Structures are given as structure tokens and as C-alpha cells.
Amino acid sequence: MYTRLVKVVFVAAMVMFLDSGAAQGKTLYVEKWGDDASDCSRREPCFTIGEAIDKARRNDRIVVGPGQYPENLQILSNDDGDPLDGLKLESSAGRFATSIEPQAAATAVVNIGQPRVGIGRKGRGFSIEKTMGQYGIWIPSVSSAGIRIEGNRLSGHPTGMLVKGDRLQVRDNVVESTTDYSIRCNNCTRALIQGNHVSSENDFGGISLEFSQSVTVQYNRVLYGGGIWIDDASSGIKVKDNVSAYNPGGPGIRTQVADGFIAQGNIATFNEGSGVHANQSGPAGKPIQIKNNLVSVNRDNGMALYDLVDALVNGNTAADNNNYGFNLGLELQTARILNNSTWFNDDGGTHCGIYSFAGVAIGYVRHYRGGGDINCGDALGGSERSTPGPLRVNRARQL
């Protein structure tokens, strides 16, 4: 009786596993010496990635050999019309040896229209280059959940990738030479954008979040473009341990988030605007937290903070910025400004370490030399002028 019960439970579990769509599929192979009339096996690989996609089924894996593949890829369905959810596409030799370039004009080089699709993985990604359309990688539908884009290089596109959906992962990619956006996340929920290197002279954003909820942006380097931007329709965004530097398009990190924004452990330096620019455009939900960031050598302020109801600004260092170390605007009466440090801001000029409007209560501040006074507004809750010591080093510095 016990043995029969175990068998019944095992069979039921297997049925549930298969029904969940997580069953392991087969592996198809593509090589430059292959033949599209073959079955895409290891011994008889296909010649094009598109043919392997047409022959694949859900949860299959396609391994692509080194070489240049002039193709536009659509991951929607196979030749039989079956959906290709769970399809994984990866290279055998990595992004430096395997490239995908468009064959014809299209919206994107790679169009993903199914959930749980993977493009690349660590050490097994692609170079996706020279689009004839708008995007290197495009996810047009918010219903495409669980997609992973990892280990790829995207170059020469107006927008490197436009992604949407739930539980998205964008990890360890290099995005360069874009003109509009590098990584644009629109209607993303519970997403992770981690470990990417963005280096583009674009206009709108190195990493841009729009209409997105519960997204973590972590361990990225964002250089020479528009910095990290979060719009006022997003909430629950965490920006942690990133480097945002040399961005001519504005601040290193800019947010208008009204609910639950956290900026922690970031370095924002040599940006055309402020290091961190934050204002709250809607009613407060979970308070904003700006903690343990280093903002230095920015052309405007170290931090420009406005209308932050119940915000916590704690343990930050503003050093050698062109204007104020901290520019604190209106409606900060309920904010907690604690344990921050200012260094050499507007040295020799008239701007001070902290500028605050009337009614803003400021906690303890260490002020290590700079133009003007420690505070240009109300009296500080506690402050001192100190002999310079070592700057705080946070985790982002080591990226």
C-alpha cells in the first residue's frame, strides 16, 4: 500500500511539473558549416539560427557556434505554429566570437514574443550589432514574463534594448554606441538589472525605467550617456552599488519616484548635472531613502533633493562638486537629513556645503572645507568643521 501511494504521488508530481511548462527540452545546434536541411543535431547542425528556431519546441535550447550570422530573429512560434516559451539561445564561444547582424530592415534584430526565453548566459552571449531598425533586442509585450538577457554585447543601435514584463533579468551585458537609450525598461515588474556596462553618448538614459514597479538596479556601470533615470510612474525602485559617471545628459541618478525609492551605496561622479537629483511628484507611500552614496566632482550639485516627504538622507558624502554639496529644496520639513559629510564643494566660491530652505531640519553634518558656510539656510541641528580624513569607500567603487 505504501509503495503504491509513493508511485501515485510521484506520477502526480511529474504531471504537475510537465504542465508547468518547465520540462527540459532538447538541444539544437547551429554552425557556419551546417546545413538547414539537417535536423540541427550535434553531428548535423543547421546553418542558420532562424532555421533552428523554426525546428525548435518549447523549452528547447539552441547552441550557436562561432561566426557572423546575418539574420533577424523572431522568437514567437515554430514552423508548426507552436509557441516557443522557454526557448534558450546561447553561443558556444561567447560574444567576442559570435555575432548576429540584421539581414533586412526590421524593428529589432532580436524580437522576443514568448515568456521564459533566454538570450545568452554568462560567457555564452552574442554580439548583436548594427541594427537597421530601432532596437537590438525588443520585448514588445508585458505578458512575456521570466525572460533572461545575459552576457551579450549590443552596439550601434538607437536603443540597445527595450524590455517589458514580469521577473525580467538583464545581467552582465555590454551596451555601447547607442543614440537614444541603452537599456530601456518599460512596464517592468519584479525585474533585476544587474552587472551591465553601459557606455553610450545617448540622449535619454543609460538605464531608464518607466511605468515600472519593484525593480532592482544593481552593480551597473553607466558612463558617457544619460545616467540612470526613473520616471514618476514607477515605484519600489532600488538603485544600489552602481557607478554613474561622465554623463553629459544630466544627473548621474535622477528620480521622480513617489513611493519606496532607495538609492544606496552608489558613486555618481563627473556628471554634467547633479550627482543625485530626486524629487517626489506624487503623494508619499513608502518613504524615499538616500543612503551611503558618494557624489563628487559633478558640474552642478552633489545632491539636489526636492519635495521628499518623510525621506531619509543619511550617511552620504558630497565632495568637490561645482555648486552645493547638498541642495535641499521645499517640502522637506518631515525629512531626516542625518550624518552626511561635505568636502571642498565650490572651494573658494560662495556656495556652501548644504543649502536648505526655511523649515528643513538638518541633523549632524561634518563639513570639511568649501565655499561659504556649512549651511546657507536654517541653523544645523549639529555640525562641525573637521580636519579632512579618508573618504568613505563603498562597494560600488570596487565594480
Average pLDDT over residues 260-274: 94
The SS3 assignment for 123 reads: coil
Among residues 165, 197, 226, which one ends one of the domains? 226
Range of the domain at 30: 23-226
Q: Give the three cell numbers for residue 254.
A: 535622477
Same domain, yes or no: 222 and 272: no
Q: Is residue 370 part of a domain?
A: yes
Residue among 295, 289, 235 nearest 259 (CA): 235
Number of domains in the chain: 2
* Bridge partners (DSSP) listed for residue 117: none
pLDDT digits (tens, 9 = 90+) for 208-255: 999 999 999 999 999 998 899 999 889 899 999 999 999 987 899 999
DSSP string, 80-149: T--B-TT-EEEESS-TTTEEEE-SS--SEEEEE-STT-EE--TT---EEE--SSSEEEE---TT--S-EE
Considering only 82-96, 270-284, 346-360, which range has the smallest mean pLDDT?
A: 346-360
pLDDT of residue 8: 41
Distance CA 354, CA 349 (A): 14
Q: Is residue 221 part of a domain?
A: yes
Same domain, yes or no: 273 and 131: no
| pLDDT band with cut points at 50, 70 and 90 for residue 328 | confident
Q: What is the CATH number of the domain that holds 85?
A: 2.160.20.10
Q: What is the value of pTM for the model shown?
A: 0.87
Higher-pLDDT residue of 374, 132: 132
Same domain, yes or no: 288 and 165: no
Distance CA 314, CA 365 (A): 10
What are φ and ψ of residue 168, in 5° steps? -75, 145
Same domain, yes or no: 219 and 74: yes
Same domain, yes or no: 285 and 222: no
Average pLDDT over residues 305-309: 80
Q: Is residue 61 part of a domain?
A: yes
Among residues 180, 205, 226, which one ends one of the domains? 226
Q: Is residue 294 part of a domain?
A: yes
| pLDDT band with cut points at 50, 70 and 90 for residue 24 | confident
Q: With 80 as the cut, is the pLDDT of residue 156 above it?
A: yes
Distance CA 317, CA 343 (A): 8
Q: Is residue 6 part of a domain?
A: no
Q: Is residue 1 part of a domain?
A: no
Same domain, yes or no: 295 and 216: no
Same domain, yes or no: 205 and 332: no
Among residues 169, 202, 226, which one ends one of the domains? 226
